Amino acid sequence: MEKIPRAILVAHHTANGLRNHAVNAVIARGVEIDSSNASIFPGTRQVVVGEGSSGKIATIQHYKYNICRENSMTQGYTTKKPMEALAAGCIALYWGNDPVEPKVLHQDNIVYVHKCPEDLAQRVFQADKVWRDDA
């Protein structure tokens, strides 16, 4: 399946503005973004997202990138956001716990934007594998 070379953000709230910072950082690097709620994420294009995790995965599987911004950056706190992105075959643009399951997930498809924003463009355009070969 050919992926849309855009990012998608599926969120119902801004996490006190934290997700807006993520959106702005990605847009500043020239990546266009679709979102499930363009009214709270200026600069994004509104799209309809299926219900539940399976609906979300069915929607985001068409995108190359998925913005995964946790509500907090706490050691050991990881929600299903990066897992859904990887299950859909997306590159996760991730703000949160670092690392996320390094023994299972291919880390080249998780861009820890909070850690290395300066190399975001280089990493996202080179990554193409989701799962580690030896997982």
DSSP string, the chain: -PPEEEEEE--SS-TTTHHHHHHHHHHHTT--EEES-TTTSTT-EE----SHHHHHHHHHTTEEEEEEE-S---TT---SHHHHHHHTTPEEEEESSSSS-TTTB-GGGEEETTT-GGGHHHHHHH----B-TT-
Q: Is the pLDDT of residue 129 over 70?
A: no
- What is the domain range of residue 20? 4-126
Q: Into how many domains does the chain fold? A: 1
Domain annotation covers residue 133: no
Matching residue, tokens 């599987």: 61
The 10s digit of each residue's pLDDT in 85-110 is: 989 988 888 888 778 877 777 777 78
pLDDT of residue 134: 47
Tokens describing residue 84: 């859904």
Rg (alpha carbons) of the chain, rounded to whole number: 14
Domain annotation covers residue 29: yes
Domain annotation covers residue 107: yes
| CATH number of the domain residue 120 falls in | 3.40.50.11660
Domain annotation covers residue 131: no
Q: Is the pLDDT of residue 127 over 70?
A: no
Q: How far apart are the first and last CA of the chain?
A: 23
Domain annotation covers residue 113: yes
pLDDT of residue 135: 40
- The pTM for the full model equals 0.79
Domain annotation covers residue 91: yes
The 10s digit of each residue's pLDDT in 8-38 is: 999 988 887 888 888 888 888 788 999 999 9
Domain annotation covers residue 134: no
